[in-house]
Structure 1
Amino acid sequence: MGAMPRVAQPNGSEEAQEPVALLGNLIRTSVLRFLRANPDATSASISEALGVRSTTIHAYLSDLERAGLVIADPPNMGERRGIWVKYRANDEAITDLYLRLGLAIGEF
């Protein structure tokens, strides 16, 4: 008998894979919601507002920044020790991802 796949992926679900991976997490969606309401927030203010440890927030911000859903100032060009980074939501990219998810589930 063959090995079972780690994650089941139904036929035709390819279009939903990225939107679900990026938005299908409560912390990520909470960070995006917070940044849409509070542009130019620091990771500390996000951590405090959401009641989530700063190390966790940093990890999710990095993921969201790599995905283009969050814009950092200054951008991540390596080490940022001692620099206050401000984050804001990339509304255009978030809307695009939302629409792609809607298309994938047959909403649009």
Structure 2
Amino acid sequence: MPKYARPADGDGAEGPLAILGNRVMAGIIRQLRKTPNVGRKAVADALQVPHSTLVPYLGELEAAGLLLADPPRGERKRGEWVVYRVNDEAVTDIYLRLGQEIGEI
């Protein structure tokens, strides 16, 4: 089985690429910048993806600190309505890290 090519100095790009290189995650960030403080259904409808597809991505983005949820994950009760917004500072940071890794910044 072939191994994936991994440049010796490319470890810093993996995190930003995993998030910003994924169409659904990038779409979630874009949509929540346009319309912050909305729930899962509104985001899923706007992106035209199934709710079940969206939920894991929202969790990953929240865990990475790129989305802020109200109420936060540790304070939620079962069945509670959650709204999301973008953590602009964290998104800018990851965008700049990617730019540095590819020599753009």
Coarse TM-score class (shorter-chain normalised): over 0.9
Residue 32 (str. 1) matches residue 4 (str. 2): no
TM-score (norm 1): 0.91
- SS at the partner of 1:12? coil
Counterpart Cα distance in 2 of 1:57 and 1:100? 25
The Cα shift of 1:58 comes to 0.7
User: What percent identity do the matched residue pairs reach?
Assistant: 45
Aligned to 1:98: 95
- SS at the partner of 1:82? coil
Alignment partner of 1:12 out of 1, 9, 19: 9
- SS at the partner of 2:57? helix
- SS at the partner of 1:77? helix
The Cα shift of 1:80 comes to 4.0
The Cα shift of 1:81 comes to 2.6
More helix by share: 2
| Shift >6 Å, 4+ stretches | none
Unmatched 5+ residue regions in structure 2? none
**Aligned AA (1:48):** D
**Aligned AA (2:49):** V
TM-score (norm 2): 0.93
Deviations 1:55-87 (A, max 9, x none): 111110000000000000001127643211000
Q: Cα RMSD between the aligned structures? A: 1.4
Show the 5 A alignment for 1:61-76. Answer: 61-76=58-73
Unmatched 5+ residue regions in structure 1? none
Aligned to 2:78: 81
